[in-house]
Amino acid sequence: MEANKRLLALDVFRGITIAGMILVNNPGSWGSVYPPLEHAEWHGCTPTDLVFPFFLFIVGVAIPLALGKRKERGDDRKSIYLKILRRTVLIFGIGLLLTAIPRFNLATLRIPGVLPRIALVYGACSVLFMQTGWKGLVRWSIGLLLGYWAVMTLVPVPGGYPPNLDPETNLGAWLDRTIFTTDHLWRQSKTWDPEGLLSTFPAVVTGLIGMLTGLWIKTDRDDYRKLTGIFAAGVILVAAGLLWNLAFPINKKLWT
C-alpha cells in the first residue's frame, strides 16, 4: 500500500471520528438525545464511548508513519526525543488552556482531561516506539492491561474499602483525589475523573494497538493481506474484550 493511500485512510477515519465527536457534543437538543449519542452511565459501552478511544488509536497509527523513517535512518535520538517532549508539553498545555477559558481560576483548574490524556498517550507511545520493536510493544500492551486489572481488582483502597470498580471508591478515584485534590478534578463529579491518572495506563495500550496497526500497514505485504490481518486482529481483540468483560466490566470512564 502506498504511503499516500495509508494517510488518506487515516485522514478519512479521523474525519469520521471528528464528525462523531461533533454529533455527540452538539446533539441539537439535550432534552431529547438519542441513546447511541450518550455515554454509558457507568459499566457498558455505547457508540459514543468509542469516540475517544478512536482518537487514541489514530494517534498510535500515525506514530510509526511520522517517526518511522527517522528511526530507520538512525537520526539523532536526542533531537527526536526533544521533539516528542515538545509536542507532549504543547498538547498538554493547550488542554489546560482550553479548560481555563473563559473563567480562569488556578485554584479550581481541572488538570486531567481529554487533551492531557492524548498528550500523555502520545508521549509514552512515541518513546516506546523508539525503544522497542513490535514484539516489545505487544509485551508492553499485555503487561499494562494485566497490571491495571490486578491493581484495580486486587489492591485494597486506602480508607478501608476493598478492591472495587465503583465511581467514588475505586483505587483510581482515590489516587486522583490524593494527587490532584478534588478542586482539580472533573467538575461534574469532583470526587473522580474520567480521564484520571491510573486509567491513563490502559489508554496507552489503545495507542499501542494503533502503533502495531501502523507498523503492519508499513510492511511490504499486499493490501489484501493487510486488510484481512487487521480485520482478524480486530475480531480477536473484540472477542477477548467481550470475554474479559465477564470478569472486568467494559467501562470507558475506567478505560477497562
Q: Give the span between the Cα atoms of 41 and 48, in whole angstroms.
A: 12
Which residues make beta-bridge pairs with 161? 157
How does 29-57 read in b/e, with b if 16+ C-beta sit within 10 Å? eeeeeeeebebbeeeebbebbebbbbbbb
How does 180-204 read in b/e, with b if 16+ C-beta sit within 10 Å? beeebbbeeeeebbbbbbbbbbbbb
User: Annotated catalytic, 184?
Assistant: no
- Nearest alpha carbon to residue 36 among 45, 27, 26, 48: 48
Helices (H), 101-199: 114-131, 134-154, 171-180
Catalytic annotation, pick one of 13, 18, 21, 39 = 39
Q: Give the span between the Cα atoms of 116 and 111, in whole angstroms.
A: 8
Q: Give the span between the Cα atoms of 69 and 113, in whole angstroms.
A: 31
- Nearest alpha carbon to residue 112 among 14, 188, 209: 188
Q: Give the span between the Cα atoms of 36 and 85, in whole angstroms.
A: 37
Please give the radius of gyration of the chain, using alpha carbons only, rounded to the nearest integer.
Answer: 19
Alpha carbon 170 to chain centroid distance? 20
Residues tagged active-site = 39
